[in-house]
Every structure is written in C-alpha cells, then in structure tokens.
Amino acid sequence: MSGKSMTLQVGRIVTYVLIVLLLVGVVGFVAYFTNGFSEGFKTFYAKVNGETVLDGIDGVVISQDEPLEVDVRYTFGAFSKKQTGFEIEIHPDADFTFFLDGSAHSFAEVEELKGGFEIVEDENSVTIIPKGGVESILRGAFPESTIIVDRDSVPADTDLFTVVIYSFDRKSSVFVCCRLKDLFIEGVTLDKEAIEF
C-alpha cells in the first residue's frame, strides 16, 4: 500500500467516525428534549435553582433566605428574536383552612397567590421570594383583609403552591411545585427600648 492510499483510508475512517458521532449527538439531543422520545420536542424549558427542568419539578424548598430562582430558556432562542419573555402564575397546591375577615375559606380555592411573594423579573429570569410564612403569603394575596390560618390543618412537608412559568406565547409551560422551609415564622420584631447594652 502506498502512503497516499493509506492516508485516504485513514481519512475515510475518520470521516465515518465523525459522521457516527454527529448522528449520536443529534439523536441524544432529540432524546433529551423529548424526554426519551416519549413526548413532543421541548422548545421551552427552565433552569430551576441550577437544575434543568423540561416539564415540572416537585419538592422545591424556598424561604426568604433561599428564594426560587428560575432561568427561562428557549431551545432555539439564539436563532429567533421572537422567542423571548415569559409569564408566571402562582397557585395553591395543597388544602387547609384559613379565615378571611372571620369567614372560613379553603386554601385550594384561592385563584392567585402572586401578591404573597416578592417577584423580581428580567428578560430571561425570575426570582420569587416568599414574604414570610403561610400567613404572610395570604396577607400579601389579600392585603385589605384580616387573615388567620388554622395551623393544625396546614400539611407539613408537602408542596403548598405551584409556580407555573409560561412561554411568551403561552403554548408551553414548566411547573415548579414548592414548599416553605418555615411555615409559620413571620419574622422577629425587637423592642429597641427594651434592649440593654
């Protein structure tokens, strides 16, 4: 065999290996964004506290010190200027009893809880910080009302609310089911006059 034909042979082998690697890469990319070929191709997803989420995630624990941080991603966003922006909603994901101006209500029937959170948005991300425990979140959702929570009916160690992040066209969404690190800690107020130095 001459040196020229050997070079051609090696070049062909390298070309075939590169083609196979490219095909494996494309199949892996499609498999990842279709959840193992079990769903349609995902063009919208999120990174929740650093973890990639294509559909939804449960059990995310948040607090005022450890907020929910979401980076919104579009699979082909770099190629389309129209694929920017998002919308969020926050809905109850558990049920317990609370009193609104003395009248008993079900937490599961509350339509929107965004008022109970500090929400900081920019073009491709959002940080969601609870305003405190369960009672503070309800006070934020119903700012003109007196809120009393039946603490015995609040389920412990369960997701209390769901953050829904919608794509710019509302055709796709990601769900983040959250629980509070501190259910009833509403903050500490110190009496400055009572403190002695």
**Is the separation of the CB atoms in 71 and 47 below 8 Å?**
yes
Same domain, 50 and 142: yes
In a domain, residue 197? The reply is no
pTM confidence score: 0.72
Backbone φ and ψ of 176, nearest 5°: -125, 105
Q: What is the mean pLDDT of the chain?
A: 83
Same domain, 101 and 181: yes
In a domain, residue 57? The reply is yes
Same domain, 20 and 81: no
Same domain, 95 and 123: yes
Range of the domain at 156: 42-192
Residue 8 burial (C-beta neighbours within 10 Å; 0-12, 13-18, 19+): exposed
Indicate if the pLDDT at residue 7 is higher than 90: no
Same domain, 49 and 22: no
pLDDT digits (tens, 9 = 90+) for 131-155: 999 999 999 999 999 999 999 899 9
In a domain, residue 84? The reply is yes
Same domain, 70 and 142: yes
**Number of folded domains that form the chain:** 2
Same domain, 131 and 109: yes
For residue 24, what pLDDT is reported? 67
